[in-house]
């Protein structure tokens, strides 16, 4: 069975809701349990750090990808199997995506939204068919899902856009969805 890699996009902050940190840690643990490699933004901060810390604690392989301008802001001191330093954020997203078999989006801010919309757009125009999963921790992504439904209702995308990603309520459902996608 080939090594599967899961790109996790999420906040470089922890946010206000402790459930988000809990879900991030559970995601890292779940990836390790399944022997799936974590592909992430390489930072040791926020939800990103929580995912990586939990994955590393359980022995998961990881690939961290960080642009040069964030090296001073997002520490990468943990012992990683591999670290890639890119010139910019665009290259970071591309390297993360190209080195993964699925994309998971945990709660996050503008950067996570940018990452989600980039891979969603690539799927919409037929550049890939990798699973894209939004982990809707305590309804965090409901406003985004509503916005996408609004875009469809207003005629700026067809209903097929909603089939380009899957919304899962928690890490248990994420694990099930990934296992089905990798079967």
Q: Is 122 helix (H, G, I), strand (E, B) or coil?
A: helix
Name the domain count of the chain. 1
At 17, give phi and psi (nearest 5°): -90, 115
CATH code for position 106: 3.40.50.450
| Band (99; pLDDT cuts 50, 70, 90) | very high
pLDDT over 60 (residue 32): yes
pLDDT tens digits, 53-82: 999 999 999 999 988 888 766 665 555 558
Residue from 85, 46, 51, 49 nearest 65 by CA: 85
pLDDT over 80 (residue 114): yes
CA separation, residue 41 to residues 75, 121, 145, 146 (Å) = 11, 20, 24, 27
**pTM for this prediction:** 0.94
Residue from 30, 37, 33, 29 nearest 7 by CA: 37
Q: Which domain holds residue 157?
A: 5-182
Number of helical (H) and strand (E) elements in the chain, helices listed first: 6, 7
């Amino acid at each position: 069975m080939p090594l599967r890699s899961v790109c996790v996009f999420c906040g470089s902050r922890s946010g206000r809701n402790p459930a988000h940190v809990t879900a991030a840690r559970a995601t890292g643990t779940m990836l390790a349990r399944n022997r799936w490699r974590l592909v992430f933004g390489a930072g040791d901060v926020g939800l990103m750090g929580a995912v990586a810390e939990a994955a590393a604690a359980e022995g998961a392989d990881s690939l961290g990808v960080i642009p040069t301008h964030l090296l001073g802001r997002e520490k990468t001191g943990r012992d990683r199997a591999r670290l890639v330093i890119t010139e910019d954020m665009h290259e970071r997203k591309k390297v993360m995506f190209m080195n993964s078999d699925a994309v998971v989006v945990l709660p996050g801010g503008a950067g996570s939204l940018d990452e989600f919309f980039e891979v969603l757009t690539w799927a919409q125009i037929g550049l890939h068919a990798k699973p894209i999963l939004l982990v809707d921790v305590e309804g965090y992504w409901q406003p985004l899902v509503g916005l996408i439904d609004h875009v469809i209702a207003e005629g700026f995308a067809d209903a097929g856009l909603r089939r380009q990603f899957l919304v899962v309520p928690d890490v248990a459902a994420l694990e099930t969805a990934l296992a089905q996608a990798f079967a």
